[in-house]
Amino acid sequence: MKKLIIGNWKMYPAGVKEAREKFVAIKKVAGTLKNVQTVVCPPFVFVGDLKKLATGHRCVLGAQNAWIENDGAYTGEVSPAMLSSMGLDYVIIGHSERRVLGETNELVNKKVIAGIKAGLTVVLCVGERERDTDGEYMKYIANQIRLALVGVSKKDLSNVIIAYEPIWAVGKNSIHPATTNDALEVTILVKKTLAYLYGKDVGTVPILYGGSVDAKNCAEFLAKSHVDGLLVGRSSLDATIFGEILKSAEKVK
Ligand code: PEP
């Protein structure tokens, strides 16, 4: 399976010209890599413009969020059907930076279902705020997965990717990066949780790690944590660093 490297641009860059330049530079590297699927998730407003530049299948666009309905009086929201109609394949759902704005597990679940129905591949983000020595965080993550997947059939799981993003390791306020062992432990937990929910023949649901990934640590996460790819925030906004991450991923067996 190709390594899946997703760049979450968050609410950057400030203007469309810069967004274009970054995307073109990333695409140039991504287009040369056979073993990596690159996805760039820009702010919604840049999607239409960048879509014109997204020729070829090795570097595609995704969205950072979507609403639970396909139309209606939801001022300021963007529907999964709209994203699909723009030719997008991926949508990030349940990112910790959205959960902190009030997105509950119940809303995340509705968004997961709406995204799948619209034909998008949902990148479901889960992760604990802090770790305790009793392993409560494991229950917390398993519960997030269970609640996000209520009503999602085994067949629909083929449109789901799970991204483990420990909140304490995500973004510029991160306390410290996770270790490859931290990520490995949760990779196993995700697999066990899916097997518990769907049975042992659950199939392959790709698992990503995200949280302070950079050009130095990316290869280690891919090689040692048994993940299928990475969700990259800040480092995806620097085309040179993101390019290095993509090239490293290409080399990991
Ligand atoms: C993210 O926003 O999903 C993320 C992982 O951020 P960062 O890489 O900046 O920690």
- Determine whether 165 is an active site residue: yes
pLDDT of 79 over the 90 cut: yes
170, 235, 241: which to mutate for ligand 1, most atoms within 8 A of CB? 170
Q: Is the CB–ligand 1 distance for residue 231 below 6 Å?
A: yes
Q: What angle do CA 29, 31, 33 make, to 5 degrees?
A: 80
Closest CA to 45 of 86, 89, 4: 86
Distance from the alpha carbon of residue 201 to the mean position of ligand 1, in angstroms: 31
pLDDT tens string 176-203: 889 999 999 999 999 999 999 999 889 8
Active-site entry in 18, 57, 69, 95: 95
Q: Is the CB–ligand 1 distance for residue 165 below 6 Å?
A: yes
110 — pLDDT class (breaks 50, 70, 90): very high
Atom of ligand 1 nearest to the CA of 97: 2
Q: Is the CB–ligand 1 distance for residue 8 below 6 Å?
A: yes
Q: What is the mean pLDDT of residues 91-112?
A: 98
Q: Is the CB–ligand 1 distance for residue 171 below 6 Å?
A: yes
**Residue 246, beta-bridge partner list:** none
pLDDT of residue 233: 98
Q: What is the mean pLDDT of residues 158-176?
A: 94
pLDDT of residue 203: 85
Q: Say what angle helices 105-117 and 136-148 make with each other, to 10 degrees.
A: 40
Atom of ligand 1 nearest to the CA of 169: 10
Q: Is the CB–ligand 1 distance for residue 232 below 6 Å?
A: yes
The reported pTM is: 0.97
Active-site entry in 97, 128, 165, 244: 165
pLDDT of residue 175: 84
Q: How far apart are CA 180 and CA 189, in angstroms?
A: 14
Distance from the alpha carbon of residue 199 to the mean position of ligand 1, in angstroms: 31
29-38, 52-61, 170-179: least confidently modelled range:
170-179
8 Å CB contact between 93 and 124: yes
Atom of ligand 1 nearest to the CA of 95: 3
Q: How far apart are CA 195 and CA 102, in angstroms?
A: 29
The protein residue with its alpha carbon nearest to ligand 1, atom 6, reads 233
- Determine whether 226 is an active site residue: no
Q: Is the CB–ligand 1 distance for residue 166 below 6 Å?
A: no
CATH superfamily of 3-251: Aldolase class I (3.20.20.70)
Atom of ligand 1 nearest to the CA of 125: 3
Torsional sign, CA 27, 46, 158, 150: positive
